Amino acid sequence: MTGAQLTQLLQSAVFFGTVIMYGAIGEILTEKSGNLNLGVPGIMYLGGIAGLAASFFYEINTENPSAIVCLLLSFIAAFLASALGGLIYSFLTITLRANQNVTGLTLTIFGGGIANFFGGSLNTMAGGVGQISVATTSAAYRANIPALAGMGTVGTLLFSYGFMVYLAIILAVALHFFLTRTRKGLNLRAVGENPATADAAGINVTRNKYLATCVGAGISGLGGLYYTMDYIKGTWANDGTIEALGWLAVALVIFATWKTVNAIWGSYLFGLLFWMYLYIPGLTRSSQELFKMLPYLVTIAVLIFISLRKKRENQPPASLGLAYFREER
Amino acid sequence: MEQTIAIQLKNITKRFGKVVANDSISLEIRRGEILSLLGENGSGKTTLMNMLAGIYFPDEGEILVNGSPVTIASPKDAFACGIGMIHQHFKLVDVFTAAENIVLGLEDEGKLDLKAASAKIVDICQKYGFSIDPSKKVYDMSVSEKQTVEIVKVLYRGADILILDEPTAVLTPQETDRLFDVMRNMKADGKALVIITHKLHEVMDVSDRVAVLRKGQYIGDVATKDTSPQKLTDMMVGHAVTLNIDRPEPKDPTPRLTVENLTVYDAMGVKRLDDVSFTAMGGEILGIAGIAGSGQKELLEAIAGLQPLRPGASIHYRPKETLEGDAGIELVGKTPLQIKQAGVSLAFVPEDRLGMGLVGSLGMTGNMLLRSYRNGFGVFTDRKAPKKLAEDVMGRLEVVTPSVNFPVRRLSGGNVQKVLVGREIAQQPSVLMTAYAVRGLDINTSYTIYNLLTEQKMQGVAVIYVGEDLDVLLELCDRILVLCGGQVSGIVDARTTTKEEVGLLMTRFKKEAAEG
Amino acid sequence: MSSVKQHKEPLLRIAKRDGISRSKAYAIRIVAVILSLVISGIFIFAVTKLNPIQVYEAMFNGAFGSSRRSWVTIRDTMTLLCIGVGLAPAFKMKFWNIGAEGQVLIGGIMTAGLMRAYGNSIPTPVLLVIMAAASLLGGCVWGVIPAAFKAKWNTNETLFTLMMNYVAIQLTSYCVALWENPFGSNTVGQINQQTKGGWFPALFGQTYALNVIIVLALTIGMFLYLKYSKQGYEITVVGDSENTARYAGINVKKVTIRTMAISGAICGLAGFIAVAGASHTISTSTAGGRGFTAIIVAWLAQFNTFVMVLISLLLVFLQKGAIQIASQFNLNDYASNVITGIILFFILGSEFFINYRVILRSGKEGEAK
C-alpha cells in the first residue's frame, strides 16, 4: 500500500466512522438510562431526511441561500425530527411500558418508511430519481479551513473534514464528562443500573429516561444528517445504507463497552475495517464482501470477551431493556 | 429531653387488591425518641413506613409533618419532609462507590465534587461513630458496610426522621450493638427514629416507645419502660403464646439423610456453609434455626442438588427399607434430575415460592405438572393426573382461586404457599424440606401446615423445617439444628431445650470469634 | 424541607389489572387498530390530499384485487408467518432472538447453492427434501451459536443475534457476487429458470399451495408443541423462572440450546420457502427485513401461532396495498412502512390498557384511550 493510499484509507475511515459515531454516542446516552433502543437506524433515517428536506425547501424557495441559514435549518430540523422519534419510543416504552425491543424495531420500520417515502417524493419534486441536491447546504457542511487542510498529509488527515467530524469528537468527550463527572450524569447512570434505587434516592426516573432517550435520539439522528449532507454530498438514495450503518452504530455501542470516548477510536476502527478491502490486493469482488463482515465479527468477539471477563465496569447497564414500575410487588 | 411531634399519621389505609395491608392506622413519631414498630411478619409495618418514604401512596388518610398536612407521592417528597428510610433490601447501585451512592439524587447543580462529599461523609461517620471508605465500590462491600452506606446516605441528606426496616436481620450481634449505639447518638442529637422489628429483645434494648401492629390493625403504643416482653407478645399475637401444636413422639426414627462436611461458597466467593454435618431421621421433624442468612437457604439447596459443593462433602440417603450397614445412595454430584432418577423422593418447599418453586404464569394444573411432566406418554405431557391433583389440593387445603387454570402469580401469598406445599406433599416424599413454610400465612393456615408436616412425620418421612419463629420450632420439632454464620452451633432436643438456649446458639460462634 | 407541595393526590395513578376478560382485551386492540387507521388516513390525506377511503380501497385492491394478487399476498403471508412461528419458542423462553433475518438468509443460501449445483441433476422432489434439510441445518447452526454462548457465559443474546444478522447478510452478498448471473449484474437471477429444477411444484393447480401446506403444518405443529409437549412445558418453565426450572431438574442450558436450534431451524426453513417456493433467487432481500417484522408478529401474538396468522396477513396486506397505491396514485411504496409503523405503535401502546388500569384523581377509572 502506498502512502497516498494509506492517507486515503484513513480519510475514508474517518468519514465512515463519523456517521456511526453519532449513532453510537446517542445510543450510549439512551442505553445509560436503561433503554435499549433498537430504533437507531430509523432515527438516523429521520435525522437524514429532516435535514435534507429543511434545506431543500429553503434552497429552492430562496434566490441566494445563505450557508449559515442552510446549516442551522437543517441541523435543527434533523435534531428535532430524531428527538421526536425518541419521544415516540419513550412514550411507548416508558409511559405505556411496551416492550423495548419490539418498539425499537417498529421505530426502525417507521423511520425508514418516512425517510424513504419523503426522500422519494423530494427526488420526484426535484425532477427525477437522484436529482435532488442541496448544493449550498452540502458545501457548508463540507467546508474546511483550506490553509490547514492544505498542509500536506497531516492537513489531509486531520483538517480536511467538515465541522461535524470534529463536533462528533467534542460531543463524545463532552458526554463522557457529563456521564462520569456531573451529578446529572451520575443520576442518569443510576437510573440505568438500578431504577428502584434511583427512585428511592429521589431521582425522577421517568424524566431521566425520557430526556436521555430523546436527546440520545437527537444525537443519533445527526449521524443521518452527516451521512446525507457530507458523506453523499446532499443527495438522497433509497438504498438502505443508512439502515446498515444504523445497525453498525448499535454494534459500536457494544464495542465501546458503553463508553463514549471508546466510540471515537472504535468508530474509526470500524471505518478502517470496512474500507480495508479496497486496499488489499488480489481480492475478488466476492471476497470483498467477506471482508465487510469484520466489524460485526469484531463486535461479537468483544461481546463474548466482556461476558467472559465479567469485569463489572464493562457490563451493559444492569437494567437495560427492562421497564420500571414503582408499585410492582 | 424535649419531645416534639415529628410526624402524625391519621387513619391511613392501604389496600393491595382485596388485601387490606393497613386499616385506618393513626400513629405519632416524636423527636428525640426511638420508636419500635413491632409486629409479626405480614402485619403491615413495612407497608405503613413505605408510605412515609414515598414508595407507596395511601388509599385513605392523612400525613402531617411538623403539624402541617403533606402529600408524599415520591421519595423526593419524603426527603423534602426530612424523612429517610433504610430499607431491608438495600437500595444501592453496585457499580458505584460509597460516596457516589451517598450523593446520588441530590439536587445540587453542576460538577460532581466527590472530594468534598467524601470529607462530609467522614465527618458524619465521626460524629455518630461509623466507619466507611467513601471510595470503595458497593460490590466489594459486606452487608454491614452496605447498611452503613444506607444510613450515612440518609444523614447526608440532612434527614432528621429515620426509619430503619429490620436493620438487624443481617447483622452479627457486635454489629447490632454498634448500630444501636449509633442510633442512641442520633437520638441524643434530637432526631426521630423508627425501628421496624419483630425481635422483642431489641425492642426492650433500644427503644423508648413501642407501637404494635397486628394484621394491618393498630393495636396501641406503650412506653418501653412500662412494658415487658410478655405484654408485648400479647399485643403482637393477641394472646399469650401457647401454640398447642400437636406433637406426637417420633415413630421409630431411622437415619434417612446423613450429611457430612458440607461447605458452600456463593457466586461472589463468600463462604455460606462451613463444614456442616448432621443426620436427619425418618419419622421426626428436624428444625433448623438461625438468624436470617445463616446458611439455611444454601443448606436446603445443597441437599436438593442446586448448590455446587466443595470437595469432601457427602450426603448419604437411605431409603425406608434398607438393610443394616447399607451406605445408601450418595447425592453429592447428582443433579436434581439424577437424584430423582436414583429413586430419591425429595420434596422441597423453597423460600422463594414464585421465583423457585412455582411457575407464576401457569395455573394450579400447570404447576402440579412441574414434578410429573416427564411421566406423560411419548413426547406429550399428561394433563389429566395433574388436573385431578390440582382439584384435590384445592379442596383439601382450601385454596382460593377462580379456577385450576388461573395463573398462580395472581393468587395471594397464602394460597400460593398452599399450592406449593400441596404439590410437594402429594409426591409422597421420603424427605420433606420446607423453608419458612408458614411465612405470611394466617394462623389457621399455619396450623393446617403444621398438621400436614406432623402427618408426614408419622408416615416415616424425614421432615426438615427451616423456621424463624422460635416458639413454633420449639413446639413443632423433635430436634433443632442451630446454624450460625454457616456453621452448626448445636443440635438440641426440642422437648428439653429452652428458647434462651437456642437464642444463645444462634449467636454463639460470632461472639467467640470476636472474643477470641 | 421548604417546598412541600400540598395537594391531595396525584392526578393519575396506575395500577396493575387483576385480570381482564378476553373480549374486553380484544375490544381494546380493535379500538387501537381503528385509531391507527384514522391517523394513517390523516397522514395520507396530509401528504397527498387524496381521499383516504379511496386509498384504502386501492390497497385492498392491491392485495386481493385478482386471484394472482391474492396468491402473492398469501405466499408472502406464509413466509412471514413461518419466521414468526420459528421465533415463538425462543420468545416463550424469553430468549430474544433478533437474529431471524440472518437465520432466514442462511437457509436461503443453502437452498440456492444446492439448487444451482444439483437443480438439473437430482429430481426435484428429492432435491427439495435435501434443500429443506440443509436449510434447517443452516438456520439451526446460526441459532445455536448465540444460544451456546448465552448458556455457557450468559452472553447477551439480543446483541449477539443482532450481529449474526449482519454476518449472514455479508455472507449472502459474498454468495451473490460468487454466483452472479449474468456476469456484471450483481444479482443471481432466477436459478434454473428454464428447467425449474428445485422449484416448488404446483399442487392442485396452485403455484403456492406447497408453501401454504408446509407453513400451516408448522403453525399447527408449533402450537401443539408449545402447549402440550414435554419440551414445550420446559420452555414455559425456563421462560418463567430459571430457578424454578433448575429446581424441577430441568437442564436450563440444554433447553436454551435445544430451543434455539428449533427456532433457528424453522427460520432457516423460511429461507428455503422464500427461495425455492417464491423468488427462486437469492439476495439480501430474500429476508428483506422480514426477520425483524416477524419479531413483532411473534410478540404481538403472545406466542399463539394462530393469532400470528392474522397479524402476518395484516402486515403483508398493508405492504401489498401500499405498493398498489404507490403505482396508482404516483406515491412511493415506502408509505406501507409508515402505515405499518403507525399501526404497530398503536397496537403496542394498547397493550398497556390491557395490563394496567389508570385511576383518575376522582376515583374514576379510565379504560381504553
Per-residue pLDDT at B516 = 33
Nearest to B389 by CA among B363, B355, B411, B415: B363
C-alpha span between C66 and C28 (Å, rounded): 33
Chosen for mutation from C292, C319, C336, C339 (greatest number of chain A CBs closer than 10 Å) is C292
Average pLDDT over residues B58-86: 88
Chain C residues within 8 A of A87 when measuring between CB atoms? none
pLDDT of residue B240: 41
List all chains that touch chain C, counting a touch as 3 or more CB pairs closer than 8 Å.
A, B
pTM of the predicted protein model: 0.83
Cβ C265 vs Cβ C259: under 8 Å: no
pLDDT tens per residue across span A39-54: 999 999 999 999 988 8
Note the pLDDT of residue A120. 78
Size of interface A-B (CB pairs under 8 A): 77
B76 and A202 within 8 Å at the Cβ level: the answer is yes
Closest C-alpha to B197, from B181, B225, B228, B176: B176
Strands in C12-16's sheet, in edge-to-edge order, are C12-16, C356-360, C365-366
Chain B residue closest in CA terms to C226: B380
Q: Residue C194 CB: number of other CB atoms within 10 A?
A: 7
Domains of chain B: 5-237 (3.40.50.300), 254-345+428-515 (3.40.50.300)
Distance in angstroms between the alpha carbons of the first and the last residue of chain C: 38
Concatenated DSSP letters for A64-79?
A: S--HHHHHHHHHHHHH
**Least confidently predicted of A4-13, C36-45, C202-211, C278-287:** C202-211
* The predicted structure's pLDDT at residue B296: 87
| Alpha-carbon gap, residue C111 to B291, rounded angstroms | 63
Minimum-distance CB partner of C163 among A103, A300, A316: A300
- Per-residue confidence (pLDDT) for residue B512, from 0 to 100: 44
User: Could you tell me how many residues make up chain B?
Assistant: 516
How much is the average pLDDT of B266-283?
Answer: 83
A213 touches chain C (CB under 8 A): no
Q: Say if the Cβ atoms of B91 and A329 lie within 8 Å.
A: no
Of A109-123, A239-253, B99-113, the range with the lowest mean pLDDT is: B99-113
Residue of C nearest to B302 (CA): C247
Alpha-carbon span B45 to B213, nearest angstrom: 7
The residue behind cell 444460544 is C147
Mean pLDDT of chain B: 83
Question: What are B172-218's pLDDT values in tens digits?
Answer: 667 788 889 889 988 898 889 999 887 777 888 889 999 988 878 89
More confident residue, B242 or B353: B353
**Whether pLDDT at C368 is above 50:** no
DSSP for residue A230 = I
Tens-digit pLDDT profile for residues A1-47: 677 888 888 888 998 999 999 999 999 999 999 999 999 999 999 99
A183 to chain B: closest CA residue? B112
* CB count in 10 Å sphere of residue C205: 6
ipTM of model: 0.86
Mean per-residue pLDDT of chain C: 82
Sign of CA dihedral C67, C72, C75, C76: negative
What is the distance in angstroms between the Cα of C125 and the nearest Cα belonging to chain A?
31
Chain C positions touching A286 (Cβ under 8 A) are: 174-175, 177-178
Distance between CA A292 and CA A294 in Å, rounded? 5
Using a CB-CB cut-off of 8 Å, the residues of chain C touching B336 are: 246-249
Query: Which amino acid makes up residue C310?
Result: L
User: Is A251's Cβ below 8 Å from some Cβ in C?
Assistant: yes
User: Does C22 score more than 60 pLDDT?
Assistant: yes
Class of A3-314 in CATH:
mainly alpha
Identify the CA nearest to A214 among candidates A55, A90, A326.
A90
pLDDT tens digits, residue range B375-431?
Answer: 877 788 877 888 888 888 888 877 777 888 888 887 777 788 888 888 888 888 889
> Do residues B146 and B203 touch, judged by C-beta distance below 8 A?
no
Given a cut of 90, whether residue B369 has pLDDT beyond it is no
Omega prior to C182 cis, within 30 of 0: yes
The answer to whether residue A127 scores a pLDDT higher than 70 is no
CA angle C192, C184, C268 (to 5 degrees): 50
Which segment of A55-64, B505-514, C87-96, C340-349 scores lowest on mean pLDDT? Answer: B505-514
Nearest to A183 among B79, B108, B153 (CB): B108
CB contacts of C171 in chain A (<8 Å) are 289-290, 293
Q: How far apart (Å, rounded) are the C-alpha atoms in residues C359 and C369? A: 13
Q: Where are the alpha helices (DSSP H) in B129-164?
A: 143-156
Burial class (CB in 10 A: 0-12, 13-18, 19+), C98: buried
Chain A CB contacts of C47 below 8 Å:
121
Closest CA to B28 of B79, B75, B83, B66: B66
- Please identify which residue in the block is written with the cell numbers 441559514: A69
- At A262, the pLDDT band (50, 70, 90 cuts) reads very high
Do residue C4 and residue B73 have CB atoms under 8 angstroms apart? no
Q: pLDDT tens-digit profile of C284-295? A: 888 878 888 898
- Read off the pLDDT band of C361 (50, 70, 90): low
Q: Is C100 in contact with C86 (CB distance < 8 Å)?
A: yes
Give the best residue of B93, B153, B165 to mutate against chain A (max A CB count within 10 A).
B93
Q: How confident is the model at residue B87 (pLDDT cuts 50, 70, 90)?
A: confident
pLDDT of residue B53: 87
User: What residues of B are in contact with residue C249 (Cβ under 8 Å)?
Assistant: 335-337, 339-340
- Could you state, in order of their start, the residue ranges of all structural domains in chain A? 3-314
